Amino acid sequence: MNDSSHPADAPRPIDALDGIGPAMAAKFHGLGIRRETDLLFHLPLRYEDRTRLTPLARVRPSTSALVAGRVVHQEVRQGRTRSLLVTLEDETGQLVLRFFRFYPSQRRQFAVGNRVLCFGEVRFGPGGFEMAHPEARSLRDGEAPRLPDHLTAVYPTTAGLGQSRLAGLIHDALDRALAGRLALPDPLSDAGLPALTEALVAIHRPRADADLDALVDGRHPAVQRLALEELVAQHVAMARLQRARDRQHAEPLSDADGMAARLVAAFPFEPTGAQRRVIAEIDADLSSERPMRRLLQGDVGSGKTLVAAAALARAIGSGRQAALVAPTEILAEQHLRTLSEWFVPLGIEPVWLAGKVQGAARRDALEKLAGGAPLAVGTHALFQAGVTFRDLRLVVVDEQHRFGVGQRLALAEKGSDGARIPHQLVMTATPIPRTLAMTAWAGLEVSVIDELPPGRKPVTTALVDARRRDEVVERIRVALAEGRQAYWVCPLVEESDLLEAEAAETTAAELERALPGTPVGLVHGRMKPADKQAVMQAFKNGRTRLLVATTVIEVGVDVPKASLMIIENAERMGLSQLHQLRGRVGRGDERAACVLMYRGPLGELARARLEVMRETTDGFRIAEKDLELRGPGEVLGTRQTGMLKYRVADLLRDADLVERVEELAGRLEAADEDRLIDRWVGDAGRFADA
């Protein structure tokens, strides 16, 4: 079958691969893998060395090892839980394998006399070194195990998609690419970095002597190569949008009705000087024919919602439609409540649209929007197909970095009628060092709210070793007794959101036990949006006063009464993420505190990073410090912490690549631009440079 709208070398969608049905495809989509080629750009989290056998006498704790041996002893130990203990022996010595949960088949696999090949982490046990729950394969007598000649990559995956399945598909795709059966054009082959296929091999199948730290934290030339390509692709896509926009017009919004003034007069508080200044900047944009493309940057808690409301009021007062879009349902509903409070007294009832609005309610909402209802609030459901507006003239997007360029485009298309497009205001709390802001927000003018509303008390921050967890729990007990509310943020588990949810459940149960009589709320990424919302609402109302959460609470939640924030494994989080989390407290009248728990001992760099959090609450200073402290070390990329929507590139880490982007992009032919946009941004057709 030949679909003429696709380039000849278009990659197959993931569900065209053998054995991948719609349910499995959905799991791949969740990982950002939609097409065959996306498999190649799904980068490993870490690597394991299975290239050589470690003699049993030579294993060391806290390292993973591949070992082989004969079972010389097996027993089931009855302790608090039943465990299976197996002793392996080779010509150098012995090693104990321990299984806390086991199946009868494992007892057979490890019967005395059998030979096995095992991979796992070695640690101290009661009787010497041992390996808990190794992966194991039986060996026949005399069989020499066949070992890979490269390191084994471990990929981030998701519940129901096993590591070996995912890795198998990635390696198959790589084999096809190497054999020329999967087209992989390489328009940047002259950029002084490894060629594309070479880079992919270095990433997915590194040699045993490869610089793994560099591969994992992205400084390796192979990863840099991909990052550069991605940056170029984003740049080209943005430039095309920019050119298209220069030919477009927007409608000047004069607010003849004076609604913005009435709204500001009715606010429950005086706007700060910074809020007034930014409102004036936006007003000037909105009264022009030139479509506004403005980024509103303001630290967490700086009061961006009020500024957004003033802009929305200006559009509505001009007799036109305006919409506010947020990346998650929790956040969108929070805006719905705030805006309803402010707009309903002015006779404006917001129309609510999110994924979960279905059936009659959805039909009703769609009808209102098509009929010209003045104010829409919701998630990206607002710019899906099937939603039409009568005269949408302003779109406000909250927390922009959660949306990719593609989604931003869909949004602009939504309100365009031929040559006219809506004004756009994009709000973010992510502080980006000024040197990098240009690239991150290409084509946007920037307004900054650089003043917090009056009466904010700075959040005091303490660093506490995780071994002093009891003291932290005590601190919560005291805070709750004083009538305060607290958050407990559980660590990020990158490999699986299932493990992450389990860890949060365990923590909530533990805290419930340690603090009898305290209702504990629990919210994590695997819950349905409606359930999350109910839990957040209970916390907001004060029905639960301790909220255990995974990092899903990161964005935009406003519960003024919460004044204590505990963050576990803070050493593993990005500084800007810590800053966002900490910004959830200190919004009310109480003195607020944040406890950063870490699992020691801390390296020098990790300590310096956490010290920054203790020393300052200024988001820009934190971002700049983060940049300064980077370099070799254990810093997690901002990619993982969700700061920007890049797959490989990291604007802080790759600042020097950013400088080359413009020149490289300028040398590309249009067809190569198409290929790169298609590969990294998706759907090049929509970026047609007509």
Summarize as ranges the residues that interact with ligand ADP (CB under 6 A). Answer: 269-272, 275, 298, 300-306, 429, 453, 556, 558, 560, 587
Nearer to ligand ADP, 500 or 590 (CB): 590
Beta-carbon count within 10 A of 366 CB? 16
Nearest to 356, CA basis, from 584, 528, 102:
528
What are the phi and psi torsion angles at 585 (to 5°)?
A: -110, 165
Q: Which does 328 bind (CB under 5 to 8 A by kind): ligand ADP, Mg ion, none?
A: none
CB of residue 299 to Mg ion, shortest distance in Å: 10
Closer residue to Mg ion in complex, CB, 330/649:
330
Pick between residue 586 and residue 682 the one whose CB is nearest to ligand ADP. Answer: 586
**For ligand ADP, which is the closer residue by CB, 334 or 507?**
334
- State the minimum distance, in angstroms, from the CB of residue 101 to ligand ADP: 45
Minimum gap (Å) between residue 673 Cβ and ligand ADP: 36
Tokens for 228, please give them: 């550069």
φ and ψ of 393, to 5 deg: -120, -10
- Using CB under 5 A, pick the residue from 134, 317, 556, 682 that binds Mg ion: 556
Residue 132's SS3 state is strand
Of 275 and 507, the one with the shorter C-beta distance to ligand ADP is 275
Q: How many residues does the chain have?
A: 690
Does 433 sit behind a cis peptide bond, omega within 30 degrees of 0 on the bond before it?
A: no
Find the angle CA(623)-CA(629)-CA(635) to the nearest 5 degrees.
90
CB of 299 to ligand ADP, least distance (A): 7
Pairing outcome for strands 115-125 and 64-78: antiparallel
Closer to ligand ADP at the Cβ: 559 or 635? 559
682 binds, among ligand ADP, Mg ion, none (CB under 5 to 8 A by kind): none
Torsion of CA 51, 57, 59, 65, to 10 degrees: 30
Closest residue by beta carbon to ligand ADP: 303
Q: Determine the angle formed by the axes of helices 469-481 and 497-514, rounding to 10 degrees.
A: 60
Q: Is 27 helix (H, G, I), strand (E, B) or coil?
A: helix
**Which of these ranges, 203-211, 367-375, 542-550, 552-560, lies near Mg ion under the rule CB under 5 A?**
552-560
What strands, in cross-sheet order, belong to the sheet with 593-598? Answer: 460-465, 593-598, 562-567, 485-489, 546-549, 520-523
Going from the C-alpha of 440 to that of each of 152, 227, 650, the distances in angstroms are: 34, 14, 10
Contact characters 227-256, Mg ion, x per CB under 5 A: ------------------------------
| 50: its two tokens | 């299975």
Comparison of 115 and 304: residue with beta carbon closer to ligand ADP? 304
Shortest distance, position 584 Cβ to ligand ADP, whole Å: 9
Strand partners for 522: 548
Q: Provide the 3-class DSSP secondary structure of residue 74.
A: strand
- C-beta closer to Mg ion: residue 70 or 337: 337
User: Residue 271's binding partner, choosing from Mg ion, ligand ADP, none, with beta-carbon cut-off 5 to 8 A by kind?
Assistant: ligand ADP
With contact defined as beta carbons under 8 Å apart, do 432 and 444 qualify? no
Residue 272 interface partner, choices ligand ADP, Mg ion, none, CB cut-off 5-8 Å depending on type: ligand ADP
Q: Least distance from C-beta 560 to ligand ADP, angstroms?
A: 5
Distance (Å) of CA 235 to CA 400, 658, 663, 681: 17, 10, 11, 10
The one of Mg ion, ligand ADP, none whose footprint includes residue 301, by CB under 5 to 8 A per kind, is ligand ADP
Radius of gyration of the chain (CA): 27
> If you ran DSSP here, which 8-state letter would residue 562 be given?
E
**Residue 597 interacting entry, from Mg ion, ligand ADP, none, C-beta within 5 to 8 Å by type:** none
Least Å from the CB of residue 556 to Mg ion:
4
Half-sphere exposure in the Cβ direction for 535 (13 Å, CA): 22
For residue 398, the minimal CB distance to ligand ADP (Å) is 7
Query: Which window, 39-47, 269-277, 484-492, 549-557, contacts Mg ion (CB under 5 A)?
Result: 549-557
Closer Cβ to ligand ADP, 281 or 568, answer by number: 281
Residue 588 Cβ vs Mg ion, minimum distance, rounded to whole Å:
16
Nearer to Mg ion, 42 or 380 (CB): 380
269 makes contact, choosing from ligand ADP, Mg ion, none, with CB < 5 to 8 Å by partner type, with: ligand ADP
Considering the complex, state which of residue 167 and residue 575 has its C-beta at the smaller distance from ligand ADP.
Answer: 575
Q: How far is the CB of 397 from ligand ADP (least distance, A)?
A: 13
Residue nearest to Mg ion (CB): 556
Q: Which is nearer to ligand ADP, 453 or 529 (CB)?
A: 453
CA proximity to 515, closest of 465, 566, 460, 591: 566
Could you tell me the smallest distance in angstroms from the CB atom of residue 408 to ligand ADP?
Answer: 19
Q: Which does residue 306 touch among Mg ion, ligand ADP, none (CB within 5 to 8 A, set by kind)?
A: ligand ADP
Edge to edge, the sheet with strand 392-398 lists: 351-353, 375-378, 321-325, 392-398, 423-428, 293-298, 445-449
| Nearer to ligand ADP among residue 331 and residue 575 (C-beta) | 331
How far apart are alpha carbons 399 and 330 in whole angstroms?
13
Tell me the closest approach of the beta carbon of residue 539 to ligand ADP, in angstroms: 15
CB of 403 to ligand ADP, least distance (A): 16
**Which residues is 425 bridged to in the sheet?**
294, 396
Q: Which is nearer to Mg ion, 431 or 556 (CB)?
A: 556
Token pair listed for 498? 């299932």
Phi, psi at residue 237, to the nearest 5°? -65, -45
Q: How far is the CB of 652 from Mg ion (least distance, A)?
A: 23
Residue 587: contacted member of Mg ion, ligand ADP, none (CB under 5 to 8 Å, by partner type): ligand ADP
C-alpha to C-alpha distance for 425 and 427, rounded to whole angstroms: 7
CB of 343 to ligand ADP, least distance (A): 15
- Whole-number Å distance between alpha carbons of 393 and 541: 35
Q: Which among 155, 225, 160, 216 has a CA at the least distance from the CA of 190?
A: 225
- CA-to-CA dists, residue 102 to 95, 345, 452, angstroms: 18, 63, 56
Select from 554-562, 578-586, 625-633, 647-655 the region that touches Mg ion (CB under 5 A). Answer: 554-562
Amino acid at 16: A
Considering only residues 93 to 122 of the shown chain, the ones binding Mg ion according to CB under 5 A are none
Contact in structure between 174 and 204 (CB atoms under 8 Å): yes
CB closer to Mg ion out of 521 and 556: 556
Residue 422 binds which entry of ligand ADP, Mg ion, none, CB below 5-8 Å type-dependent: none
Residue 43 CB contacts under 8 Å (≥ 6 apart), including other chains: 155, 203, 223, 226, 647, 648
**194 binds Mg ion, rule: CB under 5 A:** no
- Contact residues for Mg ion, defined by CB under 5 A: 556
